[in-house]
Amino acid sequence: METTELERIASQVRRDIVRMVADVNSGHPGGSLGCADFLTLLYFDVMKINTSNFTMDGIGEDLFFLSNGHISPVWYSVLARSGYFPIADLATFRKLSSKLQGHPSTDKKLPGVRVASGSLGQGLSVGIGAAVVKKMNKDASFVYTLHGDGELQEGQIWEAAMYAAANKVDNIIATIDYNGRQIDGDVEDVLSLGNLAEKWKAFGWIVFEMDGHNMIDMKNVLLKAQSSCGEGKPIVIIMKTEMGQGVDFMVGSHKWHGVAPNPEQLESALAQLEETLGDY
Amino acid sequence: MVEFEIFGNKDTRSGFGEGLAELGRTNENVVALCADLTGSLKMDTFLKENPERFFQVGIAEANMMGMAAGMTIGGKIPYTGTFANFSTGRVYDQIRQSIAYSQKNVKICASHAGLTLGEDGATHQILEDIGMMKMLPNMTVIVPCDFNQTKQATIAISKHVGPVYLRFGRPVMPIFVKPDAEFVIGKADVLTEGTDVTIIACGHLVWKSIEAAKILTEKGISVELINMHTIKPLDEEAILKSVRKTKCVVTAEEHMANGGLGDSVAQVLSKNFPAPQEYVAVDDSFGESGTPMELMTKYHIDTQDVVDAALKTIGRKG
């Protein structure tokens, strides 16, 4: 897909995000806005998926697991916009009896979601399990996971990292949303990750880095990552993003991690984001 | 009093190992994961016969639970194996979110449960696991009583779609369930019929209760003994049918009184047919090092404790 078209979709996704969280005065706009470009590219251009007929097993399809489940608004928007469920359902986000729970879940059968997430650190293990089974099933498609950088403070991530390298799980592409922010402040101040690329390398992973707001760079890196699959090592992409990207008063601050804009702020945000595909 | 045929003496974990080995031969979708306790869990035969379906995850139980959840995506039936403590308390949140809430078809197989793990002491003797697991929506909780039943349950849960917690242990105990018995999840086994007192037991306490029933019978007491191998879903009908007849009950388990089988039974009775109940269970205490049988005596989950509880609950009948 053309870069300009992907950017148009991402703009609409950002409108969806701020409208969804403002509507219920809750949710996580910061990380959602930061990952809007990546998830748009992944779902509209990179992944081999069947959005009209969702199956839990996803045989022959690429799989995606959102480990940092709090950025559900961006995922829900991209899932709806790519055809997994009606766009109108976005209006039910975080409301009673909705399939669009605050954090993603499977129990209300939302198409596109294969495991619950929200309690951090669990999605890499799940992705590795699914990747191992793809190999057993001789299914050549890929498994993608997305993690927050703050999430890497969870120990389970490193248990999983060790397993995947030791067992040559080389059909998984994990991406880290490296925005440097978490709820209490900068990751560097809360609990520094040290040299993140070197950490992953030391754990035996192939490491790529990319600009999470540059569609062309991301596409190139994702293609390189795909072609590195099968080389006996798991793959991680450290994706530099800005929390709150696209909205001038949110960008680059941890303060919008989990706070919704008020009506005036929403208006200001929407004025900066072109309505390209029609609001839900 | 029914006499039980004894089919030898073995540990329940070996029943798991045999059941898993049989599944390895009969169900190609069964995969096994183990956190560095292959021998202790008796998973060696499955490993030897199906190395491509066995996943050694190392001492990393959280990752094991997450991987097991992921392996259901694509059609596998993962069996995880480690000690009960590391199968539950250590990984409660992973089980809660990635398995139970996500309705994943994972079989959590937990050995060395309770005090009868013995000499390793309280760090490893989990007595809260039944409570933690039964509180999770979607979770089935099974505590088989002997080698044969553990083997049968191991095989039976492969046909149940959904998360299961299967709890078994280390000590060698008499085998009294018939080798060809059918294991039905959620259907209690009435071992002896009687009219004076109902004893509802699970796991190793079923054998202790058989011994207690013999003593009680010699005292002229008519005992109805129920093997409640499935804690959840609980066979409420079997409980009510029996207690309506006997008017009193003893529950017996190798678990904390708080949150175990006894509390599940009490809930059914209090809502439907309030009756005197005595608990044979551990009373809000950690365990300690000792031989399995010494520990059962010291912590009052032994044969004599079942006898005493039966006499006491009978005495409380109006």
User: Residue B17: in which H helix or E strand, if any?
Assistant: helix B12-26
Tell me: the pLDDT tens digits for B97-130? 999 999 999 999 999 999 999 999 999 999 999 9
B187, β-bridge pairs: none
**pLDDT of res. B3:** 80
- Please calculate the CA angle A270-A273-A277 and round it to the nearest 5 degrees: 105
DSSP string of A13-39, one letter each residue:
HHHHHHHHHHHHT-S-HHHHHHTHHHH
Q: Is B51 on the interface with A (CB under 8 A)?
A: no
Residue B166 sits in the same domain as residue B17: yes
Backbone angles phi, psi at B82, to 5 degrees: -165, -175
Amino acid at B116: T
Are residues A116 and B68, on separate chains, in Cβ contact within 8 Å?
Answer: no
- Candidates B18, B61, B224, B278; catalytic one: B61
Q: Which residues of A touch B96 (CB under 8 A)?
A: 119
Residue B267 sits in the same domain as residue B122: no
**Whole-angstrom distance, CA of residue A236 vs CA of residue A219:** 15
Residue B139 sits in the same domain as residue B252: no
Alpha carbon B257 to its chain centroid, in Å, reads 15
Q: Which residues of A touch B70 (CB under 8 A)?
A: 65, 115, 125-133
Please indicate, yes or no, if residue B85 is contained in any of the structural domains: yes
Asked if omega into B233 is within 30° of 0 (cis), the reply is yes
Q: Is B69 on the interface with A (CB under 8 A)?
A: yes
Q: Which residues of B touch A160 (CB under 8 A)?
A: 60, 63, 66-67
Q: Is B34 on the interface with A (CB under 8 A)?
A: no
Q: Which residues of B touch A121 (CB under 8 A)?
A: 62
**Whole-angstrom distance, CA of residue B136 vs CA of residue A39:** 33
Please indicate, yes or no, if residue B2 is contained in any of the structural domains: no
Please indicate, yes or no, if residue B182 is contained in any of the structural domains: no
> β-strands B249-256, B197-201: how paired?
parallel
- Are B225 and B209 in contact by the 8 Å Cβ rule? The answer is yes
User: Residue A201: in which H helix or E strand, if any?
Assistant: helix A196-202
Q: Which residues contact B226 (CB under 8 A, 6 or more apart)?
A: B188, B189, B190, B191, B198, B199, B200, B201, B238, B239, B242
Residue of A59, A115, A153 to mutate when probing chain B, most B C-beta within 10 A:
A115
Residue of A54, A72, A120, A156 to mutate when probing chain B, most B C-beta within 10 A:
A156
Residue of B73, B91, B96, B138 to mutate when probing chain A, most A C-beta within 10 A:
B73
Q: 3-class secondary structure for A66-111?
A: ECCHHHHHHHHHHHHHCCCCCHHHHHHCCCCCCCCCCCCCCCCCCC
Please indicate, yes or no, if residue B1 is contained in any of the structural domains: no
Task: Give me the number of domains chain B comprises.
Answer: 2
Residue B161 sits in the same domain as residue B243: no
Residue B234 sits in the same domain as residue B170: no
Of B55, B62, B73, the CB nearest to A57: B73
Are residues A126 and B93, on separate chains, in Cβ contact within 8 Å?
Answer: no
Would you write out chain A's pLDDT as a tens digit for each of its 280 residues?
999 999 999 999 999 999 999 999 999 999 999 999 999 999 999 999 999 999 999 999 999 999 999 999 999 999 999 999 999 999 999 999 999 999 999 999 999 999 999 999 999 999 999 999 999 999 999 999 999 999 999 999 999 999 999 999 999 999 999 999 999 999 999 999 999 999 999 999 999 999 999 999 999 999 999 999 999 999 999 999 999 999 999 998 889 999 999 999 999 999 999 999 999 9
CATH of the domain at B214: 3.40.50.920
Residue B155 sits in the same domain as residue B254: no
**Whole-angstrom distance, CA of residue B175 vs CA of residue B196:** 26
- pTM summary value: 0.97
Please indicate, yes or no, if residue B179 is contained in any of the structural domains: no
**Whole-angstrom distance, CA of residue B201 vs CA of residue B254:** 9
Residue of B54, B102, B136 to mutate when probing chain A, most A C-beta within 10 A:
B102
Q: Is B95 on the interface with A (CB under 8 A)?
A: no
**pLDDT of res. B57:** 98
**pLDDT of res. B318:** 80
CATH of the domain at B120: 3.40.50.970
**Whole-angstrom distance, CA of residue B79 vs CA of residue B164:** 9
- Note the CATH architecture for domain A3-271: 3-Layer(aba) Sandwich (3.40)
Q: Which residues of A touch B74 (CB under 8 A)?
A: 57-59, 130, 133-134, 136-137, 139
Q: Which residues contact B258 (CB under 8 A, 6 or more apart)?
A: B128, B131, B284
Residue B153 sits in the same domain as residue B229: no
Of A118, A134, A156, the CB nearest to B63: A156
Looking at this predicted complex, what is its ipTM? 0.97
**Whole-angstrom distance, CA of residue B73 vs CA of residue A128:** 11
Helix axes A3-24, A263-271, angle to 10 degrees: 170
Residue B206 sits in the same domain as residue B298: yes
Q: Is the dihedral of CA A130, A131, A133, A138 positive or negative?
A: positive
Provide the residue range defining the domain that includes B242: 189-313
Q: Which residues contact B316 (CB under 8 A, 6 or more apart)?
A: B248, B276
User: Residue B280: in which H helix or E strand, if any?
Assistant: strand B277-282
- Residue in the block written with tokens 């050549």: A140
Q: Which residues of A touch B69 (CB under 8 A)?
A: 115, 125-126, 129
Which of helix, strand or coil describes residue A235? strand
Residue B168 sits in the same domain as residue B257: no
Which stretches of chain B score pLDDT less than 50?
none
How many CB pairs lie under 8 A apart between chains A and B?
A: 118
- Are B206 and B177 in contact by the 8 Å Cβ rule? The answer is no
Amino acid at B66: G
Of B55, B62, B73, the CB nearest to A114: B73
Please indicate, yes or no, if residue B4 is contained in any of the structural domains: no
**Whole-angstrom distance, CA of residue B145 vs CA of residue B226:** 11
- Are A260 and A93 in contact by the 8 Å Cβ rule? The answer is no
- Please calculate the CA angle A69-A70-A74 and round it to the nearest 5 degrees: 90
Q: 3-class secondary structure for B91-157?
A: HHHHHHHHHHHCCCCCEEEEECCCHHHCCCCCCCCCCCHHHHHHCCCCCEEECCCCHHHHHHHHHHH
Please indicate, yes or no, if residue B184 is contained in any of the structural domains: no
Are residues A106 and B103, on separate chains, in Cβ contact within 8 Å?
Answer: yes
Burial class for A237, CB neighbours closer than 10 Å (0-12, 13-18, 19+): buried
Neighbours of A197 (CB within 10 A): 15
Please indicate, yes or no, if residue B318 is contained in any of the structural domains: no
Residue B122 sits in the same domain as residue B22: yes
Tell me which of B174, B198, B215 is where a domain ends: B174
**Whole-angstrom distance, CA of residue A68 vs CA of residue A31:** 9
Domain ranges of chain A: 3-271
Residue B159 sits in the same domain as residue B64: yes
Q: Which residues of B touch A157 (CB under 8 A)?
A: none
Are residues B75 and A137, on separate chains, in Cβ contact within 8 Å?
Answer: yes
Tell me whether residue B61 is one of the annotated catalytic residues: yes
Amino acid at A174: A
Neighbours of B316 (CB within 10 A): 12
**Whole-angstrom distance, CA of residue A19 vs CA of residue A29:** 10
Are residues B98 and A115, on separate chains, in Cβ contact within 8 Å?
Answer: yes
Are residues A129 and B78, on separate chains, in Cβ contact within 8 Å?
Answer: yes
- Phi-psi region at B112: left, alpha or beta (left = phi > 0; alpha = psi -120 to 50): left
Residue B264 sits in the same domain as residue B134: no
